[in-house]
Amino acid sequence: METNSGPARRPTHNYFAKYQEENPMKTVNSLHSATTHSAARPGKRPSGTRTSLAAAVALLLGSQIAPAHAASFDPNIVIKGSAEFDSTGSPFEPINASQSGEITRIMAGITSTTTLNGAAINGVDPLTGTLTSIGDGFGIKFNANGNADNEPSVVNSLFGDYSLSLQNNSATDAFLVNLRFEFSQQVDTTDSVKSNTDNGEFAHAQVALRKQDSSELLFASALSDTQLGNQQFLFTNNLVNSASGLGGKLSDSGFLILSFLLNPGELLQLGDGSPEVLLRGAADSGVFSGEVATLLTVDSVVRQRTETVPEPETLLLTGIGLASLLASQRRNRAIA
């Protein structure tokens, strides 16, 4: 058995090569996370690009995924974005399994939804728009489950993609923009047959968020695997595999506040074209299930105060004025 100083995040295995697509795990550096899990082959992740944040990141846990409601923010800050299903192609039909999903857009407090049922997308995909109010944002979630009573059960990779651009159109003022990213994920597997010919069961959920330059802001992954062992990289401590055992339930949830200081005229873009949300699973003789839900919203927009620096001429005049005042006071004392 390997220890926590052992191998780093390993790629998930492709048990049903005929049906599954490879999806290499991504690297990231995170902060904290509250979770319940039964853990996998311990390991640490390889060295890679460390989290590069333009602003402070504060993590709080145990939240419910629900939008905030507040007034419009300063129009100098223009935030445009989108959420979509599977930008790499249409979702595959599940095999002896069920799959569903939902993308949402919240603009001025009004929510629009597009759903996924099997391989059918109902509604507009992607959902795009300009966010104008606190609590506006986008959401992505997936659910999948399968039972291999009579034949193998497979849900191929379900992908969800976010993109977001933050533009400061002010020529003079800087703004602190806080984004709130909420997530929860859970996977579970049970093996009914133990044999050398049985491929076992797995369910895998993953959440990541990156800037356009591919620097990762957050990462969390959970893999329940009845044959090769569980893996979990927690939202707040994803450098080391925290799971062990074969199969069973793994879960993680929380929220992250991402703070970005936008100087006058500055543009910041989130999303590098890679999937931010992933869910997949398969069973050869047993059952699997998985779910993942995410929400990215505007938490606050705060104009930063700028201190006016006096011009040299102003400083000179101020100095002359103070000198004259002191001289006058000395003269008055001498006369008295």
Comparing C-alpha atoms, which of 336, 267, 304, 317 is closest to residue 79?
A: 267
Judged against a pLDDT cut of 80, whether residue 96 lies above it is answered with yes
Neighbouring-strand partners of residue 210: 216
Give the pLDDT confidence score for residue 212 in this predicted structure. Answer: 86
Give the pLDDT confidence score for residue 329 in this predicted structure. Answer: 56
2 or 248, which is more confident? 248
Model confidence, pTM: 0.74
Give the pLDDT confidence score for residue 240 in this predicted structure. Answer: 92
Q: How many helices (H) and strands (E) does the chain have?
A: 1, 18
Judged against a pLDDT cut of 60, whether residue 149 lies above it is answered with yes
Q: 48 Cβ partners below 8 Å, 6+ apart?
A: 27, 28
Give the pLDDT confidence score for residue 31 in this predicted structure. Answer: 38
Judged against a pLDDT cut of 90, whether residue 325 lies above it is answered with no
- Tell me the per-residue pLDDT of 182-213, one tens digit each, with 9 for 90 and over: 999 999 999 987 777 788 999 999 999 998 88
- Tell me the per-residue pLDDT of 15-56, one tens digit each, with 9 for 90 and over: 333 333 333 333 233 333 444 333 332 333 433 333 333 333
Tell me the average pLDDT across 160-185: 97
Judged against a pLDDT cut of 80, whether residue 286 lies above it is answered with yes
Comparing C-alpha atoms, which of 48, 46, 44, 39 is closest to residue 3?
A: 44
